[in-house]
């Protein structure tokens, strides 16, 4: 019995000793943590010293404002920023760089190849139209007036041979000319035995003149010889085809009266045709005379028509920004018909150049870029300058060198990932550099006001002036007047909370163009989230302005921040209200755009310090 009582007492005593030891350890641990917090707030203004610099920060604890050189503190702060490259969102990687895990690379199919020098033959592709060879076009016209009698070639598109009769023609003038020629011949024959040489010469001159007139009226030598044999004028003249080809136009109709110069037939030689095409202004420099071309037509699949003669027109189509080029092709069997469309491929001169696959290049309008493969899943954007192209490759003039590995597939996914990475990095950087400081200052403001020896934002009061500084405890620097010239305030204008009244809260009144603008916020000390802006407008006489149009434009003065707009509505007595959304704590600038009929427009800026959400 006594042994059991002894054991029970022993267990109770051990439990009691353990409880006392736990309380003691907790007590000393709590006091140690509070001492650390005191050092953090009183010594450094709420920010702990970086690793390895605790000694420097401890030397500043308890220093007066007069003993602090704010410019040196700012320079030290800038140096300390150099160590932030390793923070999340503060990567030292170049813009556009992205890292992809191996599994993700396999899923999206990332492939890469090396840029290399190759013989690049540029192909210019365009659409051409078959046309007539203008050098083989012939028109059949008459130089005298008369009537068409009989027509032998009476349809368009019919092939004709040179010398084939086209139609017969009656002309009184032509008949009279034939009679004159026959008379001149008879006169010359009668005077052949005359002793007067001058008379014989005159007769010969008349024969020559009459024959030349018939020849100029398009009578052939055979027709004139036949006329001499007959000895009688022929009332109908037969007109023959001047060249071989296809009839393009026919105006000769039986009984039709024609005047000199009237076109009765048009004949085109289609043994050779022209292909006319348009090329872009940027391709003109690559096109030269006598470059080989190939043309394919839908009417003859698998058949290629080849030529080499090229003519470049000297003018530019200002609307389409193209230049007309012309190629000459043989047309065996008259397969190519005028008006047919063909796919033209023009081979330019070959040259050795640094090339990459066309799919490796991302076209972004003003820029062309590729993704370089740095190995181990790391990819980096690289701007390039491009030159000539062919069906598979493109020349790289600047930005790459021989052997650089570039991505040839999944480029768009890498580009999207790099944009997301850049946006996340910017957001993280803003949160760590700007937003974190603003939220931290708001979080510690209440603690620092109540701590002993805390005068202006965590800086202890100089000896002998604790009472003066104690009266200022808890006052923001925006409310402290006349401190710009105080000893120890030099160099503190750029410090957070030392803006000397640049950031205001509550009601702020401005006078502009004969109007009084009073802007207030609800709540009076705005926080991140929805904030009601209330603008009161009065004229010079103090009467409310009720016919104004008010637009609030607000933003944060930081890179990458866009403007947001809210139209204010008039509620009563010149009061205009609009709700804005302050997305985060920090400095926000609100521009009140006021338009009153008959008065100049007003755009007045107001600046607010917005506390972080939940602080």
pLDDT digits 0-9 by tens, 248-278:
999 999 999 999 989 999 999 999 999 999 9
Residue 380 pLDDT class (50, 70, 90 cuts): confident
User: Residue 451: what pLDDT?
Assistant: 45
Separation between Cα atoms, residue 610 and residue 26, nearest integer Å: 38
User: Residue 489: what pLDDT?
Assistant: 45
| DSSP E strand stretches across 399-483 | 405-409
Res 2 pLDDT > 70: no
Separation between Cα atoms, residue 62 and residue 55, nearest integer Å: 14
Separation between Cα atoms, residue 11 and residue 6, nearest integer Å: 9
pTM value?
Answer: 0.44
Residue 12 pLDDT class (50, 70, 90 cuts): low
pLDDT in tens, 184-224: 888 888 887 777 878 778 888 888 888 888 888 878 888 88
Identify whether 523 is preceded by a cis peptide bond (ω within 30 of 0): yes
Backbone φ, ψ for residue 195 (5° rounding)? -75, -10
- Cβ burial, residue 325 (10 Å; 0-12/13-18/19+): buried
436 sits in which H/E element: helix 436-449
- Across the chain, what does the average pLDDT equal? 76
The Cβ of residue 570 has, within 10 Å, a number of other Cβ atoms equal to 18
Written as six digits, the tokens of 409 are 């597939």
592 sits in which H/E element: strand 586-595
Q: What's the half-sphere exposure (Cβ side, CA atoms, 13 Å) at 33? A: 6
Res 68 pLDDT > 90: no
Separation between Cα atoms, residue 340 and residue 130, nearest integer Å: 5
């Amino acid at each position: 019995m006594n042994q059991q009582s002894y054991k029970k007492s022993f267990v109770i005593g051990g439990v009691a000793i353990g409880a006392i030891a736990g309380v003691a350890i907790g007590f000393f641990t709590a006091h140690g943590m509070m001492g650390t917090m005191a050092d953090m707030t009183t010594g450094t203004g709420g920010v702990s010293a970086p690793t390895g610099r605790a000694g420097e920060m401890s030397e500043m604890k308890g220093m007066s404002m007069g003993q602090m050189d704010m410019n040196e503190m700012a320079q030290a702060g800038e140096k300390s920023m150099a160590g932030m490259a390793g923070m999340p969102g503060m990567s030292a990687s170049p813009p556009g760089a992205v890292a992809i895990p191996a599994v993700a690379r396999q899923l999206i199919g990332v492939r890469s190849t090396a840029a290399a020098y190759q013989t690049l033959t540029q192909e210019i592709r365009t659409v051409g139209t078959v046309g007539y060879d203008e050098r083989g076009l012939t028109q059949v016209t008459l130089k005298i007036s008369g009537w068409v009698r009989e027509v032998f070639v009476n349809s368009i598109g019919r092939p004709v041979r040179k010398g084939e009769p086209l139609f017969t023609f009656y002309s009184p003038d032509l008949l009279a000319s034939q009679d004159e020629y026959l008379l001149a011949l008879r006169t010359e024959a009668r005077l052949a035995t005359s002793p007067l040489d001058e008379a014989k010469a005159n007769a010969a001159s008349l024969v020559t003149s009459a024959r030349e007139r018939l020849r100029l009226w398009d009578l052939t030598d055979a027709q004139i010889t036949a006329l001499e044999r007959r000895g009688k004028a022929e009332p109908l003249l037969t007109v023959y085809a001047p060249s071989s080809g296809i009839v393009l136009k026919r105006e000769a109709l039986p009984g039709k009266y024609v005047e000199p110069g009237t076109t009765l037939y048009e004949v085109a030689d289609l043994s050779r045709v022209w292909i006319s095409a348009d090329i872009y202004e940027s391709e003109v420099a690559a096109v030269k005379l006598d470059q080989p071309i190939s043309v394919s037509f839908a009417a003859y699949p698998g058949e290629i028509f080849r030529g080499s003669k090229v003519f470049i027109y000297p003018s530019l189509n200002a609307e389409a920004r193209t230049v007309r080029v012309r190629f000459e092709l043989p047309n065996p069997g008259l397969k190519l018909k005028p008006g047919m469309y063909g796919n033209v491929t023009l081979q330019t001169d070959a040259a050795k150049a640094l090339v990459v696959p066309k799919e490796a290049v991302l076209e972004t309008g003003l820029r062309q870029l590729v993704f370089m493969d740095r190995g181990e899943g790391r990819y980096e954007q690289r701007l390039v300058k491009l030159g000539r192209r062919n069906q598979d490759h493109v020349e790289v003039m600047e930005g790459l060198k021989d052997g650089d590995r570039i991505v040839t597939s999944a480029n768009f996914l890498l580009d999207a990932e790099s944009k997301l990475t850049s946006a996340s990095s910017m957001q993280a950087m803003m949160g760590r550099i700007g937003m974190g400081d603003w939220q931290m200052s708001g979080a510690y403001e209440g603690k620092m006001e109540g701590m002993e020896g805390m005068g202006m934002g965590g800086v202890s009061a100089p000896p002998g002036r604790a009472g003066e500084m104690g009266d200022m405890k808890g006052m923001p620097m925006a409310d402290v007047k006349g401190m710009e010239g105080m000893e120890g305030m030099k160099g503190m204008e750029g410090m957070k909370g030392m803006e000397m009244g640049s950031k205001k809260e509550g009601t702020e009144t401005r006078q502009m163009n004969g109007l009084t603008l009073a802007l207030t916020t609800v709540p009076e000390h705005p926080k991140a989230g929805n904030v009601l802006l209330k603008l009161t407008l009065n004229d010079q006489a103090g009467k409310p302005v009720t016919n104004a149009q008010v637009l609030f434009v607000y933003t944060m003065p930081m890179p990458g921040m866009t403007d947001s707009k809210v139209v204010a509505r008039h509620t009563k007595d010149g009061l205009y209200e609009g709700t804005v959304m302050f997305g985060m704590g920090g400095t926000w600038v609100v521009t009140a755009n006021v338009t009153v009929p008959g008065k100049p427009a007003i755009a007045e800026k107001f600046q607010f310090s917005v506390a972080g959400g939940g602080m």
